[in-house]
Amino acid sequence: MDSCIFCKIAKKEIPTEPVYEDEYTIAFNDLSPQAPVHVLVIPKKHYASLNELDDKEIMSALFGAVKNVVKKLGISEYRTVINTGESAGQTVFHLHIHILAGRPLKWPPG
């Protein structure tokens, strides 16, 4: 998707310092961090949301990337979030997993 901001990050059309990267995924810091650690993990291929994701290799790669990011950051306590759809808080329609850590996180969320 030409107009998608996360596709541009995946293609390095927007300069980004990756926290982690592999063949299928890239992870980078959120522009507007909601916690001391706030990393986004995305598939390099465009999927508008989790609803569109149909590739088991990429599903596996995304979880693997999350585990690699937290290992790299040296954290073992963190929250992962996938917002799917506007009413769930999704604002960027390229699938992404939030990793949040570094402060106490309340549950349930609002």
User: Considering only residues 53, 75, 92, 105, which one is a binding residue for ligand AMP as defined by CB under 6 A?
Assistant: 92
CA distance 79 to 22: 22
CB of 88 to ligand AMP, least distance (A): 8
Q: Which is nearer to ligand AMP, 13 or 22 (CB)?
A: 13
Q: Which is nearer to Zn ion, 37 or 43 (CB)?
A: 43
Return the closest-CA partner of residue 95 out of 45, 42, 58, 44. 42
Contact between 89 and ligand AMP by CB under 6 A: the answer reads yes
Contact of residue 94 among Zn ion, ligand AMP, none (CB under 5-8 Å per partner type):
Zn ion
Q: Is-contact 77 64, C-beta < 8 A?
A: no
Exposed / middle / buried, residue 90 (Cβ in 10 Å: 0-12, 13-18, 19+):
middle
Residue 96 annotated as catalytic: yes
| Contact flag: residue 4 with Zn ion (CB under 5 A) | yes
